[in-house]
Amino acid sequence: MVAFGGLATVVIAVVASLFVAWAIGAGSSGSTPFAPAVGANAISVMRAGFIVGLLGLAGATLQGANVTGAMGTTSSCFRFANHARRQMINIVKNRQ
């Protein structure tokens, strides 16, 4: 039988992963602020896409190294993910 702590860790990791995926997918798009303007025909879809592309390129150029540096460090988020991965491996091993 799977220990309650291991199962709880997996459930928490799954819920946290789904929340992060939803948050990134729902509001991270650079085109979200342009939706009302495009809907009101104040700006064309192509022009809004072009502006979003330029801003995305500028953000990647100016902040890309900072993001890479932050993702490369061992933060508590990565430690938690590593712990959840180890718990899942132990669960699978215990089933065999």
Any domain includes 65: yes
The range of the structural domain enclosing residue 49 comes to 4-14+31-95
In the structure, what pLDDT confidence band is assigned to residue 8 with cuts at 50, 70 and 90? confident
Number of domains in the chain: 1
Task: Give a three-class secondary structure readout of the chain.
Answer: CCCHHHHHHHHHHHHHHHHHHHHHHHHCCCCHHHHHHHHCCCCCHHHHHHHHHHHHHHHHHHHHHHHHHHHHCCCHHHHHHHHHHHHHHHHHHHHC
Q: Is the model's pLDDT at 7 over the cut of 80?
A: yes
Any domain includes 42: yes
Any domain includes 26: no
Any domain includes 38: yes
Any domain includes 85: yes
Any domain includes 59: yes
Lowest mean pLDDT among 16-30, 57-71, 77-91: 16-30
pLDDT in tens, 37-75: 888 888 888 888 888 888 878 877 887 777 666 665 555
